[in-house]
Amino acid sequence: MTAFRLLSSRHHRYGEQFRFLRSFAAYSVQTSGEQSTIWYWHGHEPRCLLVREMSDGLEVMGEEAVARRIFRTEMADVLPEEALPDEPVAHRLLHRRYAGIRPVLFANTFEGIAWTILGQQIRVTMAVHLKNNIAARYGEPVFGWTDPVRLFPRADHLLTVSAQDLQGLQLSQAKATALLSLARCIADGKWDDASLLGQPTAEALARLEAFHGIGRWSAEYILLRVVGHPDVIPARDVALQRAWSRLTGTAVREPELRQAGAAWKGWRSDFAFYLWLDNLAYRKAR
187, part of any domain: yes
Q: How many CB atoms lie within 10 A of CB 277?
A: 18
User: What CA–CA distance (Å, rounded) separates 103 from 231?
Assistant: 11
Q: Do 85 and 41 belong together in one domain?
A: no
On the question of pLDDT at 144 being above 70, the answer is: no
Q: Are residues 14 and 126 in the same domain?
A: yes
- Residues β-bridged to residue 39: 48
104 SS3 class: coil
Query: pLDDT (tens digit, 9 = 90+) per residue, 20-36?
Result: 999 887 888 888 878 89
Listing DSSP states for 166-189 in one string gives: HHTTT--HHHHHHHHHHHHHHHTT
Answer whether the bond into residue 88 is a cis peptide, omega within 30°: yes
Domain match, 211 and 277 both = yes
* 219 or 27, which is more confident: 219
Q: How confident is the model at residue 145 (pLDDT cuts 50, 70, 90)?
A: low
d(CA 153, CA 179): 12
| pLDDT tens for each residue of 227-271 | 999 999 999 999 999 999 999 999 999 999 999 999 999 999 999
**Domain assignment present for 278:** yes
* Residues 149 and 84 grouped into a single domain: no
Judge if 136 and 220 occupy the same domain.
Answer: no
- Do 24 and 40 fall into the same domain? yes
Q: Please indicate, yes or no, whether residues 130 and 184 belong to a single structural domain of this protein.
A: yes
| Residue 21, CA atoms < 13 Å, CB-side half-sphere | 33
> Which one, of 232, 173, 239, lies nearest residue 199 by Cα?
232
Rounded CA gap, 173 and 80, in Å?
45
Q: Both 222 and 276 in a single domain?
A: yes
Asked if residue 117 and residue 235 are part of one domain, the reply reads no
User: What are the pLDDT digits (tens) for 38-85?
Assistant: 999 998 999 999 999 999 999 999 999 999 999 999 998 999 999 999
Range of the domain at 280: 79-97+201-286
* Co-location of 212 and 286 in the same domain: yes
Same domain, 162 and 36: yes
Q: Classify residue 154 by its DSSP letter.
A: P
CATH of residue 54's domain is 1.10.340.30
Q: Which of 157, 191, 225 is the last residue of a domain?
A: 191
Rounded Cα gap, residues 106 and 256, in angstroms: 29
Whether residue 240 contacts residue 73, with contact meaning beta carbons closer than 8 Å, is answered with no
**Cα–Cα distance for residue pair 35/38, rounded to 1 Å:** 10
Domain boundary among 141, 168, 191: 191
Q: Which of 160, 191, 222 is the last residue of a domain?
A: 191
**Residue 196 resides in a domain:** no
Whole-number mean pLDDT of the chain? 94
